[in-house]
Structure formats: structure tokens, C-alpha cells
């Protein structure tokens, strides 16, 4: 039955997709988390609702299905079993699922045990080595939200400063800023060199 519902997540109707997502959420089957993460990665249009001077352009329109997909995964991952499925999604063959899992591990509201918290941090740190830029970017964003960049994570972030895209370099610099007190003298000098590098963008040099 769940497989039939999962196939309907590709329906062109927003209302139908939202209905399916809500049904999957209510069933409480943790195995559908990867499918919901994929639904949350839908790139067909912006997740954000249009506004004009702070007012919604279409106030009666439903939220994008991606919003409901993320809320469903957030609820399903509250249990220990759901958390493991979410964490394991970081190694899924589909990079879109990996990127959404990386985002969720830092943004979903949940009380984590010490072991779970250590596991998600380690998993996010490992995801900094992912070959897909989107996964690395979401991993950095989640590590930044966690507000605790340890020396091992900082070492991985520094590796991104050489050869990574400008977007990743900027995200890495922002995250490194959180752990600035933990920088070694060598790393501090490396950041100073970035600030003085005229080939870097103004934003990066003034992070």
C-alpha cells in the first residue's frame, strides 16, 4: 500500500501530493522517509510563497508540497528508528535525498540523546566529503545551525577553501567563523591570507 502512495508523490496536482504526504505521515512507517525527502527536493518552483509588501499574493493557496514533506519527515524522525532512517539517508544513492537528509539533521526540531547527537554530527562531517555540491552545502548549513564546530569539522571545512565552488567556500567561511576561537595559529594565518587575496570576492574577504 505504501508503495502505491509513494508512486502518487509524482502526481502533477499539488493537492493530491499533499493528501498523499499526509496519509504517509499518519501511517507512521519510517521506511517512507527517503521517498518523502525526495518529494521535499522538488525543484519545479520555489518553496516560498509570493508576497507583495509583506502580504501573501495568494493567501488561500496551499503551502508547497515540499513544506508538508519536510514536516512529515520531521515527525517520522522523532523516534529512534526514524532518526536512524534519516541518518542513513545521508548515504542514499540519490543525491537529492542525501541533501535533504543533511538539511533535516540540522533543522528538524527534536530532542536528541547524547549518542544520537554525536552520530548526527559525525554523519554530517562525513558528508562534507560527498561528491555532490548540494549535499556538501546542506551539510555545512546544518553544522552551522548546530553552533558547535569542533576541530575535526573545521579541518574538513578548511579543505573546501581550496578548489571548491564560490558558494561552498562562502558557506565554509561562515561556518568557520563560529569556531574562530578554536583556530590554530596556522589556520588563523590561512584566513588572513583569504582576507588579503584580491582575487577573492569582497564578500569572502570580509566574512
pTM: 0.76
Q: What is the pLDDT of residues 142-164, one digit of tens each?
A: 988 887 667 777 777 777 776 66
Q: How would you class 7 by CB atoms within 10 Å of its CB: exposed for 0-12, middle for 13-18, buried for 19 or more? A: exposed
**Reported confidence tier of residue 118, pLDDT bands at 50, 70, 90:** very high
Q: What is the pLDDT of residues 3-18, one digit of tens each?
A: 888 888 887 888 888 8
Strands 51-52 and 55-56: what pairing? antiparallel
CB environment 28-63: b (16+ within 10 A), e (fewer): eebebbbbbbbbbbbeeeeeeeeeeeeeeeeeeeee
Residue listed under C-alpha cell 553544522: 143
C-alpha 79/C-alpha 108 separation (Å) is 13
**Reported confidence tier of residue 181, pLDDT bands at 50, 70, 90:** very low
Which residues on adjacent β-strands are paired with residue 55?
Answer: 52
- Mean pLDDT, the chain, whole residue set: 79
pLDDT over threshold 50, residue 131: yes
Q: What is the pLDDT of residue 203?
A: 46
Amino acid at each position: 500500500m505504501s508503495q502505491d502512495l509513494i508512486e502518487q508523490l509524482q502526481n502533477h496536482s499539488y493537492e493530491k501530493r499533499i493528501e498523499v504526504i499526509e496519509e504517509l505521515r499518519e501511517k507512521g512507517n519510517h521506511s517512507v522517509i527517503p521517498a518523502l525527502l525526495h518529494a521535499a527536493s522538488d525543484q519545479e518552483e520555489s518553496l516560498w510563497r509570493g508576497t507583495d509588501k509583506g502580504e501573501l499574493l495568494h493567501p488561500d493557496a496551499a503551502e508547497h508540497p515540499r513544506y508538508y514533506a519536510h514536516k512529515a519527515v520531521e515527525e517520522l524522525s522523532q523516534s529512534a528508528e526514524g532518526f536512524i532512517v534519516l541518518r542513513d539517508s545521508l548515504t542514499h544513492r540519490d543525491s537529492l535525498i542525501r541533501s535533504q537528509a543533511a538539511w533535516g539533521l540540522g533543522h528538524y526540531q527534536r530532542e536528541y540523546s547524547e549518542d544520537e547527537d554525536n552520530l548526527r554530527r559525525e554523519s554530517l562531517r562525513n558528508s562534507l566529503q560527498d561528491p555532490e555540491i548540494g549535499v556538501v552545502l546542506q551539510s555545512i548549513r546544518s553544522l552551522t545551525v548546530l553552533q558547535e564546530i569542533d576541530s575535526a569539522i573545521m579541518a574538513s571545512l578548511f579543505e573546501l577553501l581550496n578548489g571548491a565552488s564560490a558558494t561552498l567556500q562562502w558557506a565554509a567561511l561562515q561556518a568557520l567563523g563560529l569556531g574562530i576561537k578554536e583556530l590554530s595559529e596556522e589556520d588563523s594565518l590561512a584566513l588572513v591570507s583569504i582576507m588579503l587575496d584580491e582575487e577573492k570576492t569582497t564578500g569572502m574577504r570580509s566574512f
